[in-house]
Amino acid sequence: MWYDMWYWFLLIPVLLFSLTAQIRVKSTFKKYNQIATRNGLTGAQAARTILNMHNLQNVRIEGVSGELTDHYDPRSNVLRLSDSTRDSNSIAAVGVAAHEAGHAIQDAVNYLPNKIRASLVPVARIGSAAGPYLAIIGIMISYSIEFGMTIAYIGLALYVFAFLFYLVTLPVEFNASSRAIEILNVSGILAPEELKGAKKVLKAAAMTYVASTVSALFSLIRIALIVLGGRRRD
């Protein structure tokens, strides 16, 4: 069980990385959420401007409760902005709104990683929720039931798809941020000094996705080691 020792040894930095990313995004957003933009545009107004620039008048903007719960729903063609973004004219709000508008643009231009991520959603949800349990149950019953290890391998395979979802999310999120910064710069929605603040907000947000991917990779390795260990004992 040598990998149990490494599991706990590696778990601490993974948890610290995730915690640091969460603290950083909240503190960075809070800082730039207190600085208003010179032109006074709210997050909703900035998003609408960007969407119209790309002939996406069909994309509606709606509110959603909470903070940093902003997201684009490609099934309904709706960009949902949280309370802390929609009506705020802060640098942080405009940056976040532009990022979500970037996702709408990705959908409109059929950005390949975005399409791949969308195709992975159903199996990734199943893999994330059921994969680890199937792997463990499969190993437990493998001592008495012949096809136990088959169930364990199915669980591992399902979680692989969950990890792939996290992995392909990275280029999708980075690209949305890049689009947002470029549009905010070219359109003049944000002044150059304001753009620096928006970049910091989006960079901090991107690190949370990196942290999630690292955590998913760590879990995948852990599940794989358990399954492979069960096979050796079989």
> Which residues are catalytically annotated?
100
C-alpha 123, offset from chain centre: 17
Q: Residue 218 is encoded by which pair of tokens?
A: 């760590």
Q: How many CB atoms lie within 10 A of CB 72?
A: 23
Q: How many CB atoms lie within 10 A of CB 182?
A: 12
Tell me which residue of 173, 166, 176, 168 sits closest to 212, measured CA to CA: 166
The answer to whether 163 and 146 are in contact (CB under 8 A) is: no
Q: Residue 104 is encoded by which pair of tokens?
A: 């709408």
Q: Residue 58 is encoded by which pair of tokens?
A: 């069909």
